[in-house]
Amino acid sequence: MSVRTRDWLKFGTLVAIAFVFGLAFASTLNLPKQTSATASIVSPQPAAAVAATPIPQPSLKATAELGDAFVGIADHVRPEVVFIRSQHVERAQDQRLPPGFEDFFPNLRRRPQVEQGSGSGFIVSPDGYILTNNHVVAGADKVTVKLYDKREFTAKVVGTDPNTDVAVIKIDARNLPAVQYGNSDSARVGEWVLAIGNPLEFNFTVTAGIVSAKGRVLYGLQQSRYSIQDFIQTDAAINPGNSGGPLVNIRGQVIGINAAIASETGYYAGYGFAIPINLARTVMDQLVKTGHVERAVMGIGILDADENDAAAVGLKQITGVVVKSYSDDDSPAKKAGIQLGDVIVALDGEPIDNTPQLQQKVAFKKPGDAVEITVLRQGGERKTITVRLAHAPNDADTDVAKTASKSKSDNASTKEEMLGITVQPLTSDDAQNPRLKPVIERGGGLAVTDVAPDGPAFQRLRSTDDPGGPDIIVAVNGVPTRSRAALREALRKVKPGDVVTLQVLSRTGDSSDGWLGQVVRIRAR
């Protein structure tokens, strides 16, 4: 074999090997197979294209079912929601002019000022009763209701209750779709809810969220000291115009009336509040029956118990409400034997955790009803007391309750230091002071002349330098204290860390003589 022939064989072998390796390499790239001439004109796929990760079918199914549930609720409830427009005309008197001069001074004739507002409501009966907020229709001369089917009616205001912000209106219509009620007491924090209404006049808008808290008190919204508040908090978007609309659970049942938002701008900022439907229905039933709400009172001022209150009565957990004051000497609770400083932990055997809970439970009672109040007292004594509820003072001011280093030395100054205060007994000379005369007539007490800013009584007691001060201490741990010696004796067994219960008189304009008795608890240092 010639050298030339051998070279050609060698070259052919290398080409064959290269071809085989090329096919193997191409197969690793998953290149598209071409089966015909037309394959050459198929547009190539972008080099960066990556197949999306498929969503697991169970997740898709659950999401779709939740979305379908929201759609079903919205379709069912929206026809039961109404748009409300209220109008109030402020009629101003014309300025008086001599007869015949009116045409020369037309600008002196003031036209009536028309104030308009809007909100929401929902139909509660086929014959036209509608539930909404008091502040949506309060003071209105004319109330207009627009239904989901675009029909409009002039409504009659059946009754309003400012203390719960609930109102009932009625339109002359029949066979209307009415809402289904849920049980607001059983609503759970974290469950889905929908808010339906007419925010910013975007009619019949639906927003979704969860129940984010229960039993909220919004002191800035209180119309009076007798307002009852037990709001459901939600993060479903609520804006002006949503007021009066329903808060609906995942079963399409109304559990609240949207009433307020927490915002510095006046628009939705993440927190909305609804009146529990159980409370609203109780108010509504009375408004429909009589046009007004008749409530019972216990005649006490209450606040949520704090850690000092819990420690004083031996509670391991901070719960219940503390009796801070009496409404007057005719207080039903006072007559029954409930004492200032008692911590109410149950009503008719049902646990009481906070102020709104007690307010709502008593709100469901009637004047004359007897309730069993379970209280804990200083030292852990537990008592159950029967209180017969009385009529509220009047329809404008009704409610359940007002929403109100260890030392060895034993001298008075040291005992005062345990509380971080300085006191001075009232004298006969103080009787010449018109402000102090009522206190002297009650037997006197110890005026708080100074409160240490780093002491336990700071911001709990008012001194002579504070606006409205001073507070007058009349008893310590149930022992009357009309002198510094009496104070020393009352504090003789108190050790640092112990909770001390003070009965004080505070200056106020609410009581007849300008002084209100209440309880203040301080942990001794």
| Enzyme catalytic residues | 135, 165, 243
Beta bridge partners of 261: 272
| Rounded distance between C-alpha atoms, residue 221 and residue 227, angstroms | 9
Residue 456 CA to residue 98 CA, distance in Å, equals 70
For residue 197, which phi and psi values (nearest 5 degrees)?
180, -155
User: In terms of C-beta density within 10 A (0-12 exposed, 13-18 middle, 19 or more buried), how is residue 47 classed?
Assistant: exposed
DSSP single-letter state for residue 270: S
The C-alpha atoms of residue 343 and residue 160 are separated, in whole angstroms, by: 33
For residues 320 and 350, what is the distance between their CA atoms, to the nearest angstrom? 11
At a CB cut-off of 8 Å and minimum separation 6, what does 217 contact?
229, 230, 231, 355, 356, 403
Query: 364-371 long-range CB contacts below 8 Å, 24 or more apart?
Result: 364/282, 365/296, 365/389, 366/294, 366/296, 367/294, 367/295, 367/296, 367/297, 367/391, 367/392, 368/296, 369/296, 371/298, 371/347
Per-residue DSSP letter, 359: H
Using an 8 Å Cβ cutoff, are 296 and 289 in contact? Answer: no
Cα–Cα distances in Å, from 6 out to 12, 15, 16, 17, 94?
10, 15, 16, 17, 127
Angle between helices 277-290 and 355-363 (to 10 degrees): 30
Alpha carbon distance 351, 376 (integer Å): 13
Tokens encoding 123: 């139909």
Backbone angles phi, psi at 201, to 5 degrees: 65, 20
